[in-house]
Structure 1
């Protein structure tokens, strides 16, 4: 019989309680995970007779991610919505279970789909303190890539109930506890929304923990169905009511469903569904605007939120109307609105053209302008180009808030000196990085120099959109609001995913700017137009540098693009997933998109490769098949 593991005196944790009759410390007496783990960490072969296969697979992932076997380095992020659909559905179940487990050394934990702890209920003070010591507390992430094998992270990776007992944990710090976790799925879509976990001392663990978390997950899913049904009924009512009075194609989006009438079904493809969800998630996206569909046609889009009567804070759905724009329909009725050519700037989509026209007008009038947009949209390049177009001989000064770290007084003094010059353009970059105190001091500088005749532009980077139902988009840098109030005009540079018709011109412009002379195939341009581009123009430029480095001829082929461009996964990929995705893309490209040959080369089944292709959204051009 293997001896009980002792406490580790150097890790600062509390001693274990005595063995309890609630459960055995060796749930699998025929295995020897302690010896197996030692062999694994030494790089030796691990006999399958000494450790369970899911645990060995998890150890391999933990080693791949570089998890420290002796320390816990769980990242912390306390930002989450306490009224989310998951928390609302789970709270009554957590209340009931925590009451039942009140006198036991057991902790009840709710996490999101990525293993970030959202709620923890613990009745035992010793266990409560130990969980704090190992960072198994609200706000910390217990994803495998950070802390290694554990019930929460392993269940999230495998997509099924997982139980990890004592010495099966990859990290030494976790071996005094045992845990069981089950995924909580969206009843409509099957997508994992979160996990529920029971954690106890290793010596008090019981196989019954598996049954408890499965039952709790099922109860929460039933509650989600009740909440979802109410929300979906509200969405359906809005859809039916609008269809009776609207002559446009109609789409209703919820977090798990998409309702479309016959006209919308004919218009939209899978890529268009994704882009409509992004528009709905963007606060400005529901305003009337034009959208170029994946087949090249243009539609006029307008939408609104649909409220419901539940306690969930997010809208029940988004109702979107679409009108097909005829090819002969002029995008602008007056020639005065034509965009002048700006050196180094490419793009003529309606959204981008409108931004350029506004900036030229504000620059010419000397109207102080706040220019915001997501990171990588090219705000500074655009402002510089507008200045050169309007006032090419006037001074141009840029002050980056990132330089405040070198001394706020010197930075503010330089800003004041340039603003005091009653001519030229002054650009204040990365306004969101200003500390609150410096923002207040800058407000005073701006107030004292108000009325100068030159142009002042402040650049503010805001976060990208969240998915519908995720609590909306947080406002960037609230502490700079007094500074924002000094600017009479505000212009938002659209993200690249909202101006995909500009991509061919941008590609030519970026290749020339980088000193290249290659051209791109039509398949490459289609792939670039389909990609979501969370990093916007900056990410596109990086992808083209990658393609330039990997091309073998004068033409950039689809196989030269980064694998990330050829896939459209529905969630951010971990390091493990990114590596797997890249291997699959390379195998498909190397075998002409023949799935069977690619699967054989990778040593996986055809069913597996088809499942992975769907999961990662891998799409290769028709020429490869």
Structure 2
């Protein structure tokens, strides 16, 4: 579509043609040679071009096929609507569009007084329901403001996609004034020759107006929490946290006292404290310390709470068990590779039960490493003692006899895997064998570990084990892929010089790994069959390893993503029912489904999604 020959009416700041030509040459050089002459492109734009290239954004066309659901009554749209209406009235005669997006770059509202510009924006999909995040459209005022977390201007050929070169835009992020959460972006877009330097200043001012409106409409929950947190900080000198499902505040003493590696576990424990009747809990931290958390709720409602917590740290009990043969201040199991928070917490819990000689059930998805944790704990604490692993899949008369023999011989460790697969008579036979020994005070009795798939442990057997430790799926500690890959490659190649390139590792870390560590092992085994030495690159990986998510999820995000998937499956894909089950709004679940890239079957006929 040809652009009409406008006279510059929006505060003229037209670039000289020579500067435009220099920018075009710089862009071409970047796309062809991956190099740009110093000083020809702003650092902000160059960084965005690099990200766009990593996202594999097409440079020659704009085609967005996915239209997202929008919430017309979200806090952001309610706060922004009167502000945008006022600005749109002021710019009614100007060739400029006022655009509001959410934190994923999805356009929520667009106001444009110029019909030609309006048609062009439709043509390039800069329209309600479509996302202008950098991963889809490359460098632009919306996506680049989201990535840079600050105001940005993009003129003409600074856009990564050629079809946007006729436009200029300025975007500024909108932050929630109470929670500090990124809410979205406000953007001004016009024809390139009509762009004025005023745009960046104007869009930042509009963002502040919307933030002021958000503050005015903030509910009593956020304000109550903020008030209680500030009061607690003023009254006390200890470590204070203010937490809610959307907010974490921490005073200087807490930041000084609490190791960064402990913070995720502490926040999870803090939420447990707020939801418990006593408001008090003890949290085992990955560093080995124990946190005593005392909470005071500022508000509670179905599905969540917010409040202030006072934290005291205590060192772990330094007195070793009679069975402890080594000192492990931070358990590093020789065969259980990984240092992620949830994995280490699991390993430390198992180690603690071993030292107390408490029988334990390890519960988790197939392939998570339940047997590996049991083996590694035994080898780390009593490497010279007897270890026996018996698989319930081998159930029979001889199998039961072996169980009884191990229990009566005494000492060492007995691991019984796949207990949930036993038939009814097998479960009864195992219970009969275990019962005489489960309350024995003999210090030499064997340490017994049973493994079951998540949620499938037989009740009559679980009663014989006083402790259950969940073993997290790999997606909940995906950061450990960086340690697992070289470890598994060394095993598979028997020491040959085969390494994994950073690009291939990024692909592996973005996989959801439904088969957990076992699936990762088989993927690498297929890869090693084709390449025994050198460096693995993404092209060497089998197709299943490239079924990646949009980004690497944090452990807490992975847990939330799993909960949403389970709720959607429980409700046949009905998003409204899933949101109700999870205690979140329909708008929130739509946003999270979009953000996590969740795909589930649609609702049954007649259902409302």
TM normalised by structure 2 equals: 0.48
Identify which of structures 1 and 2 has the higher relative contact order when contacts are C-alpha pairs closer than 8 Å and 6+ apart.
Answer: 1
TM normalised by structure 1 equals: 0.47
